[in-house]
Structure 1
């Protein structure tokens, strides 16, 4: 061995020893850093026609995490939230898998698109990772497409239809009446139309017409002409996202006066339509005018942080994160299966309403109260946010919470083994 070879070998050994020493010091530090936090994944659309709702979801998620950490975190550890734009079903699936496999999130929260919910749920089921859906409405997600590791804070379409349907019946807009519907041409809309037709058939109404509308449609003039010609008793919107805002503005411009309402709705879309354009009666899972202590505290904190009130999508993401944190602290565990079993046993939670909510064991739908809101006349509106009046909680205080939900017979779910 030459002196050069000896020095080279010695340097190599020294470098290896140094690397080992650094690894020995650094790796536990990295492990400690990772164990000091609990990481949540948050996926929701932040672009496209659902983007305006996704932004409220993100703001609410940030607020919830701030409050959870201020209260001591989870099991004494800080919560971090990784947020991504889900974009579309394929991208949502890819990002969900990356969050679980690479980023090691304990759970995934969010989404609005029912189609994307399904692809995320497939990842969650395969990896046995909890997924809490905060915005996808499709009954199919709680039925033929249900997954044991997926739970739903957002109400299913049946709950929306049955909630506002009660108001339509009280107003005499169902039995013997003709409806004209416009439906978003994707999974959510198709599912909602199916549920709406079931409601009408059961209550003596019929459809004068129903059109599927592409999700990228912005000009509704051709549909408005057809509606005027059909002369319906009620115009029903099964649209989503910015579609509702655009339609309401153009409906006002056309000067149509047929009663109008919808089975799917978010208050942000009414705010975007503006004074005088927002009309009709609509269902919501929550709204910022509720007088319960929890709702008032949430609204005040949101306004303080963002300068505007939260809308109903914000409620869903905020509540989901609070329920997860509460459950992990109660169970002293972050394991997904333990949370699944805990929720299936009927654990109850403050959902900022007059009654506590709980998840049904057979479809994982959160049982909670809903509301029907009706637009105020333009001359009664005092600010850009308080533009509607609200019904009391639906179902009423003397009814079970599942009175407005799909029954087992209407929407069968069989969880995979």
Structure 2
């Protein structure tokens, strides 16, 4: 079900009764005190090649806000969620500034584009307002471009690569193998390619070729012909958004059978490719088959409200809303600096998985479990959503959550003075 395009730029989330992982079904209407509402902004792309993922993000943020209000709001105050879109970095920067200066938000959530997230980070650092990045992966945002007021519930590229890398090594697809890479030609893709090459070199892999793919490219024929000629052991995709869906469909049409793997992924892209087209092994931060009470409640609530399955981008925006609400409640403050300090002291958060997560103080990356998913054979697929199998959580229960994150040698953050 597409997001209601009649939503205005400024959308007030009303108190409603809804399913919530932290509350009950059919909760009574809440009577709020006369205290001023707590305003939280949400920016994400709603058009272009990242637009389909942005719709999931906005829908999940709305669901979380409604659940928070239905369970009493934040410290008895109503949560007002203000939605906006970010078609490019310039718009993202301008809209973030407007949300802070005019709408007086206490926190900003969202984004998918790494370039736009960087533009927003510069605004929130100057304005000293909390920003939780829910979808931008670039390691640079946690390293050379890190900011004191920016935190990341989205995993960094290093975490994606190391999470899926374990499965690829297990399957004999790394050491001594030739890889052919297709990479999205913007900040995210360039960063991911560098991280992937570093991982491959450390584990005995080689690259047969690399191509940069424009974000608006629809016809992959020239690149598929190059792959056919190169005959790699693995086709590695460092693509984003609908690029991945389009490639997978055309890959099958060309009759290519080289194993496919990706280092960045969203489950909606697998569903978009569909049965018979989706293939390979991919990393994700969450998926709808995770068997925890919180995860099941989120899936049920999202399906009830939006009439479709949530995917992992939705997970990030939903959890971020809950994380901010919890932090304000625990600190009894909307002061961004107090929340930053609370995060840096190791506050724990339920992320709907088997282990709680926390923001790593030195780079503000959420430390958490991830998963590697592998496409099921067509004969084993029973519905449009359950089209992959999943690895157990990565890292394993007996490992530190930080073993898949970038090390200081790989990606060092030095915060500028707040």
TM (normalized to structure 2)?
0.91
- For the pair 1:51 / 2:51, whether they are aligned, the reply is yes
List gaps (5 residues or longer) in structure 1: 1-31
Per the alignment, in what secondary structure is the counterpart of residue 223 of structure 2? helix
Please tell me whether the aligned partners of residues 33 and 77 of structure 2 are also in contact (alpha carbons under 8 angstroms): no
Q: In the alignment, is residue 64 of structure 1 matched against residue 72 of structure 2?
A: no
Q: What secondary structure is seen at the aligned counterpart in 2 of 1:217?
A: coil
User: How much has 1:171 moved relative to structure 2?
Assistant: 0.5
How has the CA–CA distance of structure 1 residues 62 and 247 changed in structure 2, closer, same or farther, with 3 Å as cutoff?
same
Q: Name 1:172's counterpart in structure 2.
A: 172
Mapped to 1, the partners of 2:108 and 2:125 lie a distance apart of 12
Bigger share in helix: 1
What corresponds to 1:12 in structure 2?
none
Contact kept? 2:109, 2:320, Cα under 8 Å: yes
Give the distance between the partners of 1:327 and 1:412, measured in 2 at CA: 26
Q: CA RMSD in A?
A: 1.1
Match of 1:117? 117
Match of 2:358 in 1: 358
Farther-moved stretch of structure 1 (300-309 vs 166-175): 300-309
CA distance in structure 2 between the aligned counterparts of 1:220 and 1:159, rounded to whole angstroms: 28
- Structure 2 segments unaligned to the other structure (5+ residues): 1-31
1:221-260 alignment, distance < 5 Å: 221-260=221-260
Q: Which residue of 2 is the match for residue 130 of structure 1?
A: 130
**Distance apart, 1:36 and its partner CA:** 2.3
Alpha-carbon distance in structure 1 between the residues aligned to 2:35 and 2:222: 58
* 1:35 Cα deviation after fit: 4.6
Report the equivalent of 1:333: 333
Does the residue aligned with 2:321 lie in a helix, a strand or coil? helix
Deviations, residues 313-360 of structure 1 (Å, cap 9, x unaligned): 000000001000011011111110000000000010111111000000
Name 1:4's counterpart in structure 2.
Answer: none
Q: Secondary structure at the match of 2:112?
A: coil
Q: Larger radius of gyration, structure 1 or 2?
A: 1
SS in 1 for 2:309: coil
**C-alpha distance in structure 2 between counterparts of 1:66 and 1:36, whole Å:** 17
Count of equivalent residues: 386
- CA–CA distance in structure 2, aligned partners of residues 295 and 233 of structure 1: 36
Per the alignment, residue 140 of structure 1 pairs with 140
SS of 2:300 mapped into structure 1? helix
- Mapped to 2, the partners of 1:326 and 1:359 lie a distance apart of 14
SS of equivalent to 1:146:
coil
